[in-house]
Structure 1
Amino acid sequence: MKVLVIEDEQALRESIVSYLKEEGNLCEVATDYWNGIEKIKLYSYDCILLDLTLPGGDGLKILSEVKKMNKTEGVLIISARQALDDKLNGLEMGADDYLVKPFHLSELKARIMAIVRRKNFSGSNLLSFNEISIDLLAMEVKINENAIVFTKKEYDLLIYFISNQGKVISKNAIAEHLWGDEIDMLDDFDFIYTHIKNLRKKLVEAGAKDYIKSMYGVGYKLERI
């Protein structure tokens, strides 16, 4: 998953990022209102963790902007505000969940996963695409019931393609999804071709059809055959 953490409290922010990264997730951070708005405008995420009390503005204004931009990211409010009115206000404005500080990081992760499952996979931990089946909790991929080993990037890439099946995905979108902010340090996108080539090779050798198609000059698309 790719998660944006909008939180100004350094210790909590670093704890969240460290925990989620250890679980194999890609994390980006924003420490104030304006940085949060800028990130959301420029990039896409699976889930946004949103503090309400931020330098420069209220987190609820960020939530409002997310909805105005028709962004599809799940939003989990993390706040010390525990009044019922604050919770109801955040949820009524479109947040997917509300978690009161302090909280256990394991609960945070569970709530993020629940949001992503609802948003992208109809609430299920199991993702299927023809002969390909994926256990999202175990991060296990099977082709015709046979387990296949992928690198972390290959696994993330496969999930990304299946989540966007039928859509043409640009190389820039793929790079940004897999590398986040680090995309700015890359000279070219040749590495994308390598990852996609390896992913397709493993899928086909394991008995899957070649679903990933190159759209010349545009990007790639996963389509049913």
Structure 2
Amino acid sequence: MKLLVIEDEASLLKSIIDYFTQEDFRCEAASTFEEGIKKAADFQYDCIILDINLPGGSGLQLLEYLRVHKKNEGVIIISARNSLDDKIAGLDLGADDYLTKPFHLSELYSRVKALIRRKYASGSSVIEFGKLKLDLLLKTVTYSGQTLLLTKNEYELLLFLLTNKNRVVSRQAIAEHIYGEQTDNLASFDFVYSHIKNLKRKLKERGCEDLLQTVYGLGYKLSV
């Protein structure tokens, strides 16, 4: 799972990043309005944690930008302002949740998990696609009841493909999902081909040969 935290209070930002990194989230950070809107526009995330008060602009303006430009990331607003008007404004603009500071990181984590379950698995912890099942809580994958032993990158790749099922995903999109802003420093996207090859092999070993397809010249897709 990939998380963007947009928060200008350095200590809180670090605490959130450290906590979610320990929970195996891929985390990126922004501390200003400009930095946050650039990352949100350039990359795709599973969830964005968004402060209202940011240097250079309002988190509500950033949220409005996301929704106007059809960015469908889940958004949880965090704010020291416990104003009903702020909550209503945030929810009306398309926020999925609103949490007032101070809060326990465990509560924020629970809300992020709940948001992801609603977004990808209709409130369940399991995403199903044909005979393929991915458990978001246990971080396990099975096909026809047989367990697939995946590396962390293979798991993240499969999850990314599942959340974009029946759509072609380019190698660059996969690289950006896994490495985010570090993608520009990569010499090539050969590692994507390597992960795809390994994932195909492991699916084939469980009796699935056609689920993960290569669309030559364009990318890859999961399709039954």
TM interval, shorter chain, is over 0.9
Aligned twin of 2:14: 14
Q: Which amino acid aligns with 1:117?
A: R
Listed as ranges, the matches of 1:130-145 within 5 Å are: 130-145=130-145
Listed as ranges, the matches of 1:128-207 within 5 Å are: 128-207=128-207
Tell me the secondary structure at the aligned position of residue 28 of structure 2. Answer: strand
Tell me the secondary structure at the aligned position of residue 150 of structure 2. Answer: coil
Aligned twin of 2:40: 40
Name whichever of 125-134 and 5-14 sits farther off. Answer: 125-134
Q: Which amino acid aligns with 1:79?
A: S
Query: In the TM superposition, what whole-angstrom CA distance separates every residue of 1:30-75 from its partner, at most 9, and x where no partner exists?
Result: 1101111111111111111100011111111101111111111111
Q: How far apart, CA to CA, are the structure 2 residues paired with 1:194 and 1:50?
A: 35
Q: How far apart, CA to CA, are the structure 2 residues paired with 1:44 and 1:141?
A: 23
Tell me the secondary structure at the aligned position of residue 75 of structure 2. Answer: strand
Q: Work out whether residues 132 and 208 of structure 1, in 8 Å CA contact, stay in contact via their aligned partners in 2.
A: no
Q: Which amino acid aligns with 2:215?
A: M
Name whichever of 80-89 and 14-23 sits farther off. Answer: 80-89
Q: Normalized against structure 1, the TM-score is what?
A: 0.96
Percent identity of paired positions between Structure 1 and Structure 2:
50
Q: Work out whether residues 120 and 127 of structure 2, in 8 Å CA contact, stay in contact via their aligned partners in 1.
A: no
Q: Which amino acid aligns with 1:212?
A: L
Q: Which runs of 5+ in 2 are unaligned?
A: none
Q: Which amino acid aligns with 1:25?
A: F
Query: In the TM superposition, what whole-angstrom CA distance separates every residue of 1:180-215 from its partner, at most 9, and x where no partner exists?
Result: 111111000000000011111111102223311111
1:147 CA displacement: 2.1
Aligned twin of 1:113: 113
Q: How far apart, CA to CA, are the structure 2 residues paired with 1:182 and 1:18?
A: 19
Listed as ranges, the matches of 1:90-109 within 5 Å are: 90-109=90-109
Name whichever of 50-59 and 123-132 sits farther off. Answer: 123-132
Aligned twin of 1:55: 55
Q: How far apart, CA to CA, are the structure 2 residues paired with 1:210 and 1:152?
A: 23
1:120 CA displacement: 2.1
1:146 CA displacement: 2.3
Name whichever of 20-29 and 143-152 sits farther off. Answer: 143-152
1:159 CA displacement: 1.1
Residues matched between the structures, number: 224
Q: How far apart, CA to CA, are the structure 2 residues paired with 1:43 and 1:160?
A: 13
Q: How far apart, CA to CA, are the structure 1 residues paired with 2:48 and 2:184?
A: 21
What value does the CA root-mean-square deviation take over the aligned residues?
1.1
Aligned twin of 1:127: 127
